[in-house]
Amino acid sequence: MSILKKLAGQTAVYGLSSVVGRLLNYLLVPLYTSVFVPAEYGIVTELYAYVAFLNILFIYGLETAYFRFSSQEKGYNYFNLAFTSILISSLLFSGVIWLFSDAIADVLQYPNRAHFIRWLAAILAIDAIVAIPFARLRQDGKAYHFAVFKLSNIGVNILLNLFFILLCPMILKDNPDSFISKVYNPEIGVGYVFLSNLIANGLYLLFFIPDWLKVKLTFNSSEWKRMMKYAWPVLIIGFAGVTNEMLSRAILKYRLPEEFYKGFSNLEILGIFGACYKLAVFMTLAVQAFRYAFEPFFFAQAKEKNSPQVFSQVMTWFVIFTSFSWLVLCVFMPYYAPVFLRQENYLIALDAVPLLLGGGLFLGVFYNLSLWYKLTDKTLYGAYISLIGAVATFILNWSLIPVLGYMGSAIATFISYLLMVIISYVWGMKHYPVPYQTLKITGYIVLAGSGILIDGMTEESILKSSLIVLIFLTLLFVLERKSFRNLRAN
């Protein structure tokens, strides 16, 4: 249990930077939904969906490959090799996007906004360049440094958003000749979301100055090929994963029939769905925090004889936590959602959020299961699984959006992640058996899902929602009382 406590401690620190930090960043959503109409927020939703795809391309699996190779072999400096590779490719990729920014803006139906594309190209380059330095912080167990760097970026981003979107317009309204007019252009509008992100990301380049002074740009073709042999399936996995998460927001505007939702344009519905999707980010961030800690953990723990039993315990407690989170977030949604989504129009897509949160839960289970193909160097199997999920996501979105609208996208997310979990479990038990408590973890997911269904089908009441949560906690305590005693003892 002491090993699990260490993992929980690492997850908590990473959670400070990813969950808590992004939660602070998420507090900008009420600002966006109060200042920007759905069509404007739709621009943010769509462009950041494409950024998610490009982030995978810019890093192309080298982050995970760096973990694998640096943990096994100490005789070669894989940091320098991975950093050199990503530095060169990032400058090349961003340069191409910058060069064709006008054409890209026209294709996306955002004329006269090519500067948005150029800013995003710079953001992508910086994110990729600092990926390996951040990976080394995780590899070295420097979770607190990781948290400080991430939180500083988020804090600056929040302040810049408040400055450009809220403070500057207020000052200029009363004092049009203020010095603010020298640094603020009202015509940029929603573009300040991207500009703030770019300036905040520039801080990363300052944070890692000690690394820049020590890094040696180097390239060894044989070692690079070894890393890429491991990394390219991870790239496919990443693309497939982001397809499952982002495809709906990338194609909803184009696949949704006009006037499907009376009184709303497709771009407005994209903005509304994107804003409600933000409510599902609570689950995604919890999974992300766990993933930051778990990835280096299982590579190190795999050398121990009892590692399968430890991995099983990790899975059980992960499902308990995320099932409880799924239940709480869903049953209390009517009370916190209006606080974040300030305009009433943004609330019409709330019925999709429970499915999106459930999909996030299954994504976390899939990350847990992924250790089998990473530890056995069978990352190609992970690529197969992720591609199956991506194909399912595409087919379901393509067929369901014209019929069910954004609910079709939510259903597609839920089903595709569940499918990936089932396939990964079956294949994993053949190649790297782990004694997962399958019946128990399935029971917790079904229990949480049943509570959500009951809450949704009955009259809204905070007392009723609290009772459902209390029943879950009571059953949890009864079933896990022995495990709780072991945790206290250790």
- Residue 148 has a pLDDT of 85
Dihedral of CA atoms 76, 80, 82, 83 in degrees, nearest 10, equals 170
pLDDT at 478 over 70: yes
Region 32-53: what's the mean pLDDT? 89
pLDDT at 374 over 60: yes
- Residue 442 has a pLDDT of 95
Q: What is the DSSP letter of 343?
A: S
SS3 216: coil
The model's confidence at residue 246, banded by pLDDT at 50, 70 and 90, is confident
Candidate from 167-171, 307-311, 398-402 with smallest mean pLDDT: 307-311
pLDDT at 21 over 70: no
The model's confidence at residue 243, banded by pLDDT at 50, 70 and 90, is confident
Half-sphere exposure in the Cβ direction for 143 (13 Å, CA)? 22
- Residue 106 has a pLDDT of 93
The model's confidence at residue 18, banded by pLDDT at 50, 70 and 90, is low
Query: Across the chain, what does the average pLDDT equal?
Result: 86
The model's confidence at residue 1, banded by pLDDT at 50, 70 and 90, is very low
Domain count, the chain: 1
Q: Which residue has the tokens 């940091």?
A: 79
Residues with Cβ within 8 Å of 361's Cβ and at least 6 positions away in sequence, in order, are 283, 287, 319, 322, 323, 325, 326, 445
Q: Which residue has the tokens 């029939």?
A: 257
The predicted model scores a pTM of: 0.74
pLDDT at 196 over 50: yes
Structure tokens at 381: 């199997």
Q: By percentage, how much of the chain surpasses pLDDT 90? A: 43
Q: Which domain holds residue 293?
A: 2-489
Region 416-431: what's the mean pLDDT? 94
pLDDT at 479 over 90: no
pLDDT at 80 over 70: yes
pLDDT at 295 over 70: no
